[in-house]
Amino acid sequence: MKIVDIKIYVNCPGRNFVTVKIETDKGIYGLGDATLNGREMAVVAYLEEHIKPCLIGKDAHQIEDIWQYLYRGCYWRKGPVTMTAIAAIDMALWDIKGKAADLPVYQLLGGKSREKIKVYGHANGKNIEETLDHLGRLIDEGYKAVRLQCAIPGLEGTYGTLADKKDYYELQSDRPLPPEQIWDTNTYLNFVPELFKKAREKYGMDVQLLHDVHSRLTPIEAARLGKILEPYNLFFLEDSVTAENQSGYKYVREHTTIPLAVGEIFNTIWDAKELIENQWIDYIRMAATHAGGITPMRRIADFASLYHIRMAPHGPPDISPIGHAANAHLNIWAPNFAIQEFIGFGGTTLNNVFKHPLTLEDGHLLLQDKPGLGVDFDEKAAEKYTYKRSYLPVSRLKDGTLWNW
Ligand code: GCO
Ligand code: MG
C-alpha cells in the first residue's frame, strides 16, 4: 500500500491545530496530530519541506521502518518540532493500518487492559472559594480526580487560573506578542497549601486531587511544597521542577513522599531515562503528539512499567482530537496506565471539524470501537477557520527577571 500524498492543514476551529492526512493508492487515508502550541508553523514547514518529499511512494504498512527513517535516519535528532512532525506521521500510519485491518488501533497494540479510561479534570478560580465551587461541580458531574489551580493574591494571571478567560489555554490572537505574567515563589508557597487544606475540609479524602506547579520551583522549594502538601494526599504533584537536568527530581524525591509526575514537554525516551531508571518519579506524562507518536509511546510505557512508573498522558485542549484519540488507544492497551488529563473539547466549532470516538461518562473516557484511530476530519468545514498566530505567555519575577512559564 503506497503513500501517494501527504496533506498538511492548519486551522483554528477555536484554537490552532495542525492536521496531517496521509493518502494511499488503496484509497485508505490516515490522520495525525502535529499541533505544537505557539510553534505551529515550524512543524508545518518541517513536514512540508523535510518529510513529505521523502515519504511519497513508501509502503504505508512499514510503520517501524518509517519511524526509524525519520528519527535515526536524520542526523539532527530529537526536539519538539521534529518529534511532533514525526508523531503526526506515525499516528496517521497506525490509523491506516487499523483501517486496513478493520480493527481499532488498541487491538493492534495487543488488545484491552481495561474497559474505560479514568480522567482528571481541572478546577480553577479567582479565589479559593470559587475554585472549590468548581471542584464541587466536577464531583457532581462524576469526576473522581481533579486538578486544582487558583489565582494567587498579588500575582497577576498565574498559570491555570483563567484570569479574564485569558492566559490559560485560550488563543492569544488578540495580542501580537506573548502576554507576560508575574511570578513570586514565596507568595505561591505561602498560599497554595491553604487551597488543599480547604478542599479536604470541604470534600473529604475520597476525591483525588492533583496540582501543576508548571516548573516554577527549584528542587529544594519543590521538596518543601511536597512535604507541606503530604497530609492532603495528592494523587500527584506535576512539573514541580524543570527536567532538563533530570537529577533535580532526586532532591525532591529524597525529601517527600508526595507522588511526582513530569513529562508533558519531553519528546523522546532519553528525556525520561534517568527519571525512570532511578524511580525519581511515579507518573510519566508524555503523550503521543509531542513524543514522536504511538510507536515510541509503546516503548516508553513498557520501559516505565519495569520501574513501577505509570502513564498519565498530557491531555490539554491544545492537543487535537486526533492526538487525544491516539492517547486513548494507548491508554486502553497499556497495562501500566494510571490516569488521563481531560478537560473536554472546545465546543461546537471544533466538533464541526473533528468527529472523534470519545465520550465522557462518570469521570471516565469511553472509546468507541472504530477501525484505526476512529477520528474524522472535515477539510471543507475546517477551511473557514484560518490559522491565527498565537503565543503562550512568559513569566517574569517582580524585578523583571525572566522565569519559567
Ligand atoms: C497541562 C499543561 C498545559 C500546558 C499547555 C501548553 O498540564 O495540561 O501544563 O497547561 O501548559 O498544554 O501548550
Ligand atoms: Mg502541566
Q: Model confidence over 78-101: pLDDT tens digits?
A: 999 999 999 999 999 999 999 999
Ligand nearest to the CA of 342: 1
pLDDT of 199 above 90 = yes
How many domains does the chain fold into? 2
Domain finish residue from 45, 69, 104: 104
List the one residue out of 92, 97, 122, 121 whose CA is nearest residue 108.
97
Give the residue, by CA position, lying nearest to ligand 1 atom 5. Answer: 316
Q: For residue 162, what is the enclosing H or E element? A: none
pLDDT of 169 above 80 = no
pTM: 0.97
pLDDT of 346 above 70 = no
pLDDT at 174: 74
Block residue for cell numbers 478542599: 199
Domain finish residue from 104, 138, 155: 104
CATH number, domain containing residue 84: 3.30.390.10
Give percent above pLDDT 90 in the chain: 91
- Are the CB atoms for 157 and 179 separated by under 8 Å? yes
Torsion of CA 73, 287, 267, 192, to 10 degrees: 180
pLDDT of 226 above 70 = yes
pLDDT digits (tens, 9 = 90+) for 94-121: 999 999 999 999 999 999 999 999 999 9
Give the residue, by CA position, lying nearest to ligand 1 atom 6. Answer: 37
Block residue for cell numbers 518519579: 281
Ligand nearest to the CA of 147: 1
Question: Residue 198's Cα: distance from chain center in Å?
Answer: 28
pLDDT of 386 above 80 = yes
Domain interval for residue 31: 3-104
pLDDT at 165: 60
pLDDT range class, residue 162, cuts 50, 70, 90: low
- Are the CB atoms for 383 and 353 separated by under 8 Å? no
Are both 151 and 62 inside the same structural domain? no
Catalytic residue status for 61: no
| Any atom of ligand 1 within 6 Å of the Cβ of 341 | yes
- Are the CB atoms for 229 and 221 separated by under 8 Å? no
Minimum-distance ligand 1 atom for the alpha carbon of 147: 7
Instruction: Summarize the confidence of residues 204-212 as an average pLDDT.
Output: 98
pLDDT digits (tens, 9 = 90+) for 321-342: 999 999 999 999 999 999 999 9
Length of the chain: 405
DSSP string, 181-244: EEE-HHHHHHHHHHHHHHHHHHH-SSSEEEEE-TT-S-HHHHHHHHHHHGGG-EEEEE--S--S
pLDDT at 166: 58
In this structure, of 69-83, 159-173, 354-368, the range with the lowest mean pLDDT score is 159-173
List the one residue out of 111, 198, 188, 196 whose CA is nearest residue 152.
188
Are both 206 and 251 inside the same structural domain? yes
Are both 100 and 115 inside the same structural domain? no
Domain finish residue from 104, 139, 171: 104
Catalytic residue status for 385: no
User: Chain-wide mean pLDDT for the chain?
Assistant: 96
Distance (Å) from CA 337 to ligand 2 centroid: 18
